[in-house]
Amino acid sequence: MVIYTVLLYAVVALLDPYGLLKRGKKRDFFVCAALYLISFSLAFALAMQWDIPSPSPPIVHFVKQLL
């Protein structure tokens, strides 16, 4: 079942942004593909019940540096 889910996700990740590539929007295609890869990685890590570190402390530190 897990293999089918991963394959389905890969098919969607290739077919969904394919229209962008077909219209000549390479940069948009690569951005969309990168976002799919990030979301898949996070979904896989959550499904495997791995601990994902919170980005909150670095974000707070970055905002404090801006002020």
pLDDT of 8-55, one tens digit each? 877 887 787 888 888 888 898 888 888 888 888 887 888 788 887 777
Answer yes or no: pTM beyond 0.85: no
Q: Are 17 and 29 in contact (CB under 8 A)?
A: yes
Tokens (6 digits) for 65: 């540096």
Return the exposure string of 10-48: e unless at least 16 CB atoms fall within 10 Å of the residue's CB, then b. Answer: eeebeeebeebeeeeeeeebeebbeebeeeeeeeeeeee
Q: At 15, which amino acid appears?
A: L
Q: What is the pLDDT of residue 1?
A: 67
Hey, CA dihedral for 11, 16, 20, 26, is it positive or negative?
negative
